[in-house]
Amino acid sequence: MHILVFGHSGQVATELRALALADVRITTLDRTAANLMDATACADAIAAHAPDAVINAAAYTAVDNAEDDEETAHQINAVAPAAMARACAARDIPFVTISTDYVFSGDGSDPWAPTDPTGPKGAYGRTKLAGELAVAEAGGRDAILRTSWGVSAHGKNFVKTMLRLGAERETLTIVDDQIGGPTGAAEIAHACVTIAQSLARDPSLSGIYHFSGGPDTSWAGFAREIFTQTGLLCTVTDIPSSEFEQRATRPLNSRMDCTATTTAFGIARPDWRDSLKSILHQLHQNQT
């Protein structure tokens, strides 16, 4: 199977490039090869490469900046994926796009199911939800994979920030009232490929799915595990989100019900502590 990936240097796209699967060939597209601000260019790229499936691993993910530049975020997170989905539907090939827990309100404490009502509280969530709706309207072999708290050994993310700050300071204040599942980008990449392969065989599997690491934890709990696994002697002090001012509202409840994903594709919810161990090992290898 030849899979065309929108994205090249992001966390998931980097992990997709690193996959070594005997029956899968992956081509990634950076911004010069596919301008996400030009929906026609995205559709043209699919026509030019004639892949067996498409994964959209590109997105506008600057949550705070989106509050001031929602138009750009909407173009990248909604208009571009819509064009990709229509191009794939016209060719009857699978299309997998990555979405987010930010499409929900973040209220309550129950895990969000794919069928739960959405209600984003910020620009980022609104643009991702618009993308979901547009992809579904395309009517093809489409899967929307909502995930949360993505981390890897690449790019900017919570793990790398904690390693840097934990080495510089003796104590850190981290929010403890935002609860969710850290998710390794490598695991997301594998899930996307599995879903694409499954959709190629069975288009009835099209729909919305959730995928996040378990068990659920807080950012403070996540930080403590990072320091435990690395041996960094940095103490974490819990604080509420109200004491950590940010431009965009973060969901307090990012718990995700991943049952449907396991049932449809046999993809188990990964233990984020194991993902973290792999990420730390890769970072160590990169340093040496």
131 exposure class (CB count in 10 Å sphere: 0-12, 13-18, 19+): buried
pLDDT at 20: 85
Rg (CA), the chain: 18
pLDDT in tens, the chain (288 residues): 999 999 999 999 999 999 988 899 999 999 999 999 999 999 999 999 999 999 999 999 999 999 999 999 999 999 999 999 999 999 999 999 999 999 999 999 999 999 999 999 999 999 999 999 999 999 999 999 999 999 999 988 999 999 999 999 999 999 999 999 999 999 999 999 999 999 999 999 999 999 999 999 999 999 999 999 999 999 999 999 999 889 999 999 999 999 999 999 999 999 999 999 999 999 999 887
Three-class DSSP labels, 145-212:
EEECCEECCCCCCHHHHHHHHHHHCCEEEEECCCEECCEEHHHHHHHHHHHHHHHHHCHHHCEEEECC
Alpha helices in 63-122 (DSSP H): 63-66, 70-74, 80-91
Residue type, 107: D
For domain 2-156+182-215+249-271, give the fold.
Rossmann fold (3.40.50)
Q: How far apart are CA 25 and CA 241, in angstroms?
A: 43
User: E strands of 191-267, at which residues?
Assistant: 207-210, 217-218, 235-239, 253-254
Across the chain, how many H-helices and E-strands are there? 11, 13
Q: Which residue out of 60, 102, 124, 209 is catalytically annotated?
A: 124
Phi, psi (degrees; rounded to nearest 5) at 236? -105, 125
Alpha-carbon torsion (36, 91, 98, 18), positive or negative? negative
Residue type, 65: N
60 included as an active-site residue:
no
Buried b (16+ CB within 10 A) or exposed e, 172-201: bebbbbbbbbbbbbbbbbbbbbebbbbbbe
Q: In the chain, where are the structural domains located?
A: 2-156+182-215+249-271
Say if CB 184 and CB 151 are below 8 A apart: yes
